[in-house]
Amino acid sequence: MISFWIFLLNSFLHIFANQIQKKVLSIFFSKHKFLFILLVYFLQNSCYSYVSDDSTRIINCRNFFNLTSSCTRTIFSSSIQNSDDNAQLKYRTSNPFRFGLAFDYRWFGVELGLNIPVLLAQRVRKGQTKTSSFRFSVNGRKIAFLVQYTNFHGFYLNNDPFFYNFLSKLNPLPKRPDMLTSIFQTSILYYFNNKCFSNPAAFGQYERQIKSGGSFLSGAGFQYYELTADSSFIPQKFKEKFPNISQIKSIYGLQTYISIGYIYSFIIKKKWFLTLSASPSITRFESKEILFDAAERLNWDFGLRFESKVVLGFNGERLYYGAWHTGFWTNERLLSGNYLDQTMQNFRIFCGLRFKTRRNLGFLGL
């Protein structure tokens, strides 16, 4: 078992290191790779070892495998706000929907996805964002662990306050195909009341929670990001409102946070469920601003971070379906005196079937 995880994660780290070019992340992985492998091995055993269940509240589906189809969309936005008169520039990605088909059995899961082409009117009005990502997660009853890298290339300026017709090509928004954002994040969450609340039932449908219940949760994590462009983030007509940041071409940041929150699942007739979660955090921000003349400005400060999750669905003996929304919001103050807000939202519609296995595979905990 240990040798399998070492092989799997060593392969992952070599592939991932080729994607991350920043020196600070390369140093982190080269120094802490072995500790990271041991951590994930511990998480796999602690999360997926047998949990003493009260079958009147939570039904364990260990001897089932899931086949799930889904449609997912991720939207990332980055906003710069002038603290003097609250003028704001909000850049957003224009990501396509993604169709996926997933197979899950106990701790093992794999998903294949295909982007759904966006409408011509969408490309004309908002442009198109190129996205690449890698995600590794452990979604257990006690602990949830996440490592994720995401890259967005291409933004549009979303300062239009009016709701628009997605079939219309009128009023195209200013586009920034040169803007690039890379985000690396890792986090860990612990669910205190894991005998009354099932995280796998709400997010993954690996279990079935048949009575309402919730839990306090606590966690920690860090997030590294870079926001770069070939020209100034501030368009020419807005530069007078952002004099302190108009010469900045790159922003790099590292966020370290500790969170505490609460999550609750409302169960109706043992199958319908609504899960709500909120987790505020106090965050230490470190940022570096690089100007066009290659000068650097360093700063650190405390700010806010907020994460939320909403899931609505049906979780039956075999059939399950629903929709969820997860996201985070951060607010930090730059050395220039402006505020940088970042949000990432994930929308997902899913439908799947659960199949009972006649026998275990007999290796690797399967």
Res. 366 pLDDT band, cuts 50 70 90? low
> For residue 46, what pLDDT band results from cuts at 50, 70 and 90?
very low
Give the Å distances, CA to CA, from 330 to 71, 119, 127, 142, 170.
26, 31, 25, 26, 32
Q: What is the dihedral of CA 150, 155, 157, 158, to 10 degrees?
A: -50
Query: So what's the pLDDT on residue 104?
Result: 84
Could you say which DSSP state residue 203 is in? T
Tokens at 156, concatenated: 């549009």
Is residue 340 within 8 A of residue 329, CB to CB? The reply is: no
Q: Which domains does the chain have, with CATH numbers?
A: 1-50 (no CATH), 64-356 (2.40.128)
Closest CA to 218 of 155, 290, 277, 134: 277
95 DSSP 8-state letter: P
DSSP 18-79: HH---HHHHHHHHHHHHHHHHHHHHHHHHHHS-----TTTEEE-TTEEEEEEEEEEEEEEEE
Average pLDDT for residues 56-69, to the nearest whole number? 86
pLDDT digit string (tens) for 131-176? 888 888 888 889 999 999 999 999 988 865 544 555 556 667 888 8
What value does the mean pLDDT take over residues 46-70?
A: 71
Percent of the chain at pLDDT > 90 equals 33
Phi, psi of 11 (to 5 degrees): -65, -45
pTM over 0.75: yes
The residue among 314, 290, 306 whose CA lies nearest residue 344 is 306
pLDDT tops 70 at residue 349? yes
Of 193, 316, 325, 208, which Cα lies nearest the Cα of 263?
A: 193
pLDDT of residue 358: 75
Residue 216 CA to chain centroid, in angstroms?
Answer: 21
Residue 269 makes CB contacts below 8 A (sequence gap 6+) with: none
DSSP characters for 133-200?
EEEEEEE-SSEEEEEEEEEEEEEEE----S---TT---SPPPEEEEEEEEEEEEEEEEETTTTT--HH
pLDDT surpassing 80 at residue 42:
no
For residue 166, the model assigns a pLDDT of: 55
CA 232 to CA 239: how far, in whole Å?
9
Mean pLDDT of 118-125: 75
| Residues whose CB is less than 8 angstroms from the CB of residue 66 and which lie 6 or more positions away in sequence, other chains included | 102, 103, 104, 105, 204, 205, 206, 352, 353, 354, 355
Least confident range of 3-7, 70-74, 338-342: 3-7
Residue-wise pLDDT tens digits, 249-297: 888 889 999 999 999 999 999 999 999 999 999 899 888 888 777 777 7
Euclidean distance between the first and the last CA atom of the chain, given in angstroms as a whole number: 11
pLDDT over threshold 70, residue 10: no
CB 91 within 8 A of CB 78: yes
Task: Quote the mean pLDDT of the chain.
Answer: 79
How many Cα atoms are found within 13 Å in the side-chain-facing hemisphere of 138? 22
How far is it, in rounded angstroms, from Cα 86 to Cα 88? 6
Q: Provide the pLDDT for residue 67.
A: 93
Q: 135 vs 25, which has greater pLDDT?
A: 135
Instruction: Kindly state the DSSP code that residue 365 receives in the 8-state scheme.
Output: T
Taking only the tens place, the pLDDT of each residue in 287-323 is: 888 877 777 778 788 888 999 999 999 999 899 999 9
- How far is it, in rounded angstroms, from Cα 254 to Cα 222? 7
Determine how many CB atoms are found less than 10 A away from the CB of residue 164.
13
Give the model's pLDDT for residue 70: 93
pLDDT band at 54 (very low <50, low <70, confident <90, very high): low
Structure tokens at 361: 């595979």
